[in-house]
Each structure stands twice: as structure tokens, then as C-alpha cells.
Amino acid sequence: MSNSYPSPSEWSDHVQRRTVLKGGAATGAVVLGGGLLAACGGDSGFTGEIGSASGELTFGSNASDPAPQAGTNAIVAAYMAQNPDVNVTLNFLDHNTFQENITNILKAGEDDVLSWFAGFRNKFFADQGQLGDISDVWENVSGLGEGFKAASTASDGKQYFMPTSYYTWAVNYNKDVFSEMGYAEPQNVAELTALAENMQSDGITPFAFANDGKWPIQGTFDILNMRINGYDFHIDLMGGNESWADPKVVKVFETWESLLPYHMTGANGRTWQEGAQALQDGEAGMYLLGTFAASHSEELAAKMDFFNFPEIDPAIGASSLDAPIDGFQMIAEPSNEAAAKELLLFMSTKASQDAYLGEDPSVVASSSEADTSGYNDLQKKSAQLANAATGISQFLDRDTIPDMAGACGDMFAAFIEDPSDIPGKLADLEEKKVAIFADFNS
């Protein structure tokens, strides 16, 4: 049985930050026209204007941590202030529970609007007919670039996702340690290695390293693969179109192996929060993780800065990175479609994103109209980094089939524990990949 499911590379090629930001202005111009058209009204009762829907609306959120939860509450409060006729009920669920049960949550159909991830993960549900088409909402959106639209579009060319924020993965470091010891941000991998050597002789572990849950170090693989083999190869590998047994991938692991001595040992049993604590206490100098590391504590947020993982191969450069986009989607048969769409439209606006970022400053707004004056240094730098990037990936567990991400997680964890026999481990992973992709596409 053939599935018309395209590889993630087909959409990810579009999600390049340049188009994302440059497209912002252009889409803005279209908005007025779109608003007028949609104002005539569809059968859903969605008019394209905030304030016309009414009734009850349920909204399921995975924001179980305090800051995102406060941000989500702020979005809902801001929306209900604009349209008091809609009464939004928010259901929070633990982040991991939400993720593992998303299929059942979608089937239960109790929540009209749900938190989710852009790209491959959203597209999968859309192609399965589990999500509602929100193309008419997109006709009224302003301030979201074409890249965001591409990341929200399924195989049928319609939109099923409303991206609201993103964050970047980079090398976080402790500013106090850097200034005290006179370290500088490295510009290439040789400088990075030299810096790590310096730290070691100063009694500091160069890299904090944690892998509880088997996902955090996937970020290390992503960045090394993109630096060594380039963005396109990385996305093709994620999409199942390249072999894991390829000598190019072997080279990534050999490079990783050469960097392992600079990392904390025993990462597999350590939570990312414990890694962040080591960075905060100056036991470790750097930490390759999402900028959400700053959400570990206010102390760390104040001490933390980051730099883009430096260039390894000058022919490839250092202009691609992981920057996962978060947002919201609507179920296939919502009980209050007009209100659901109106809330999704509201979420794309400056008012909503400013409200969210006021509570959770660890992410960057998707809207080019959002207020950036309140951005802290980390957010400004994230936006700059993403701005300058030519290739944006969504992170390994969002760029490939979850089953495959699980197999990668196991292999990476086994590798950092025992880096021997890289070709054997990769051949085993490739064997699994072939089986997983064959099952997925049949």
C-alpha cells in the first residue's frame, strides 16, 4: 500500500529561517484582503474577526511546567478580554503524558484546540484526517513568514497548525566562569577543542552532559551531523532517505567520540536539570542544550549566555541549527469550530504572543509583529541566530518517525557509554530504520 506521505525533507526545505522572516512583511500585505473575504463567513461560523464567536471552548495544553503554564493562562485571559462571549476551559496535562497519549486525546475529541509541534509531527496527524483544516484562519494571519506557513502545511497543501513560538539549540555557557577565567567564544572547532583543554587544566569539566529520557543528546548528534555533512544530508537522513551506515554518519560519531572526553561521564542517568545545575555552579563550563536550560533557575538565567556551535568544515559552515517550533492545532471535528479558529487566529497575533512571552521568556515569538523590546539578551540572541541561519531543523525527535527517534535514542545512549564498534552500531540502526520506515509507509 502506498502512502502519499512525503519525506520531512520536502517540507523542511521550506522552513529556512530567511524565508520565515522575510516572508513576514509580504504576508502582512495580504491580510487585509483575506480578512474582507473571510468576513463574508464560512459554514463554520468563523468570520476572521476576533470577537464574533461565542459559547464554550475547551483547550488542551501540555504546558505542565510553571512558566509555560502561566504563559498559556495569559493567552487565554488576553483572548477572553477581547471576546468575553467565549468561555475557554483550559485542561493542562503533564508534558510527557500529553505526548504519549496524543493519539487518544485526538480521538476522544474533548479538547477543540491542542498544543503540538510544527512540521513532521503535525503533518502526520493532518494526513491521517485527525486535524481540522485551518487554512481560512491563515488567510487572516499577519506577521508569520512563509517558512512558518510551510511548517504548518500538510500534504494536501492546507494548513493545520498555528506556530506561536520557537527556541534555539546552542552551546550555553556560564558567563561568570568565562569572564573570570578569560575564556572567549570559539569560532571554529579547533578553538572549541583548545577551550575545552584549557577548562580541563583549570579543573572545570568543559561540557555538562545529561541524557535521562534518551533525548537530550540527540541535539549533539543533530548539530554535529549538520556541521559535518550539512543541513540537506541531515534532513534526508531524518526522512529515511540516507543510510545510517554511510561513512558520512560514521564520521559524525568518530568526531563525537573525540569530543566525549570533554563531557561529564555518566550522562545516561543524569537529568538535564542536573546538567543545568552543574553549569550554574561552574562545575561545567558549557552545555549544548536548548535555551530552555535557562528555565532551570533564575540564577542560571542571569548567568547564562550561549554561542552557535562553531564550524567544523569550512565548506559546510555553521549556519544551520535546531530550532523547534511550538504551537497549536485544532481537532477534526471541534464542538465549537468558530471559537476554536478564532482562538487560533488570536494566538498568531502580537497581543497573544506578548502575553505569553511576558510569562515565559525562554522562547522567541513567531510573529514578526510581537514586541521584542522586552526580550532579554538570550531571546535577542536566539532571534539573531535563527535569523542568520540558512537551515532550521526541528530536532531529531520531531524530524523523524517517533519509532525511529526511539531507536536513535537507544543507539546514542549505548554509544556514549561505549563508543567502540561505531560501524556495527550504525549497521544495526540502519537495519531498524529500514524496517521502521517500511512499516510506516505501507
Partner 1 sequence: MVGIPTFLHVMLIWVPAILSIGLSFTNWNGFKLSKISWRGIGNYKQIVTVFEKDFYEALLNNLWVLVFLFLFATPMGMFIAYLLDKNLKGTAIYQSLLYFPVVLSLAVVGFIWKSVIYSPRQGVLNTLLGRTDPGNQIDWLGNSDFVIGLTENYGLSRNFLALIAPMMWQHVGYIMVLYLAGLKSVDPSLREAAAIDGAGEWQTFRRIIAPSLRPVNVVIMVITVITGLRVYDIIDVLNNPIGTNVLSLLVTESTSGESSNVGRGSAYAAILLALCFGFVIWYLRSTFKEDDA
Q: What is the DSSP string of 160-211?
A: --EEEEE--EEEEEEHHHHHHHT----SBHHHHHHHHHHHHHTT-EEE----
Minimal distance in Å, beta carbon 283 to partner 1?
Answer: 5
Ramachandran category for residue 209: left, alpha or beta (phi over 0 → left; psi -120 to 50 → alpha): beta
291: cell is: 535555551
Q: Is 413 in the site for partner 1 (CB under 8 A)?
A: yes
Binding mask 107-146 for partner 1 (x = CB under 8 A): --------------x--xx--xxx----------------
Among 359, 406, 422, 427, binds partner 1 (CB under 8 A): 406
From the list 52-60, 161-169, 258-266, 330-338, the region that binds partner 1 by CB under 8 A is: 258-266
What's the rounded Cα separation, in Å, for the pair 312 and 229?
Answer: 10
Minimal distance in Å, beta carbon 439 to partner 1?
Answer: 6
Q: Is 283 in the site for partner 1 (CB under 8 A)?
A: yes
**C-alpha closest to that of 169 among 218, 118, 98, 235:** 218
Among 157, 182, 269, 314, binds partner 1 (CB under 8 A): 269
Minimal distance in Å, beta carbon 238 to partner 1?
Answer: 14
3-state secondary structure of 159: strand
What's the rounded Cα separation, in Å, for the pair 109 and 132?
Answer: 11
Q: Is 414 in the site for partner 1 (CB under 8 A)?
A: yes
Q: Is 65 in the site for partner 1 (CB under 8 A)?
A: no
What's the rounded Cα separation, in Å, for the pair 192 and 184?
Answer: 10
Residues 6+ apart with CB under 8 A from 402: none
Q: Which of residues 199-228 bind partner 1 (CB under 8 A)?
A: 205, 211-214
CA angle 57, 67, 99 (to 5 degrees): 60
Among 41, 85, 89, 103, binds partner 1 (CB under 8 A): 103
Neighbours of 95 (CB within 10 A): 15
Burial 287-307, CB ≥16 within 10 A → b, else e: bbbbbbbbbbeeebbebbbbb
How many residues of this chain interact with partner 1, rule: CB under 8 A? 45
Minimal distance in Å, beta carbon 306 to partner 1?
Answer: 20
Minimal distance in Å, beta carbon 402 to partner 1?
Answer: 5
Q: Is 157 in the site for partner 1 (CB under 8 A)?
A: no
Q: Maximum CA pair distance of the chain?
A: 70
Q: Is 89 in the site for partner 1 (CB under 8 A)?
A: no
Q: Is 402 in the site for partner 1 (CB under 8 A)?
A: yes
Among 268, 297, 335, 372, binds partner 1 (CB under 8 A): 268
Residue whose C-alpha cell is 517500511: 438
Chain positions contacting partner 1, by CB under 8 A: 1, 99-103, 121, 124-125, 128-130, 205, 211-214, 264-270, 274, 277-278, 283-284, 401-403, 406, 410, 413-414, 417, 428, 431-432, 435-436, 439-440, 442
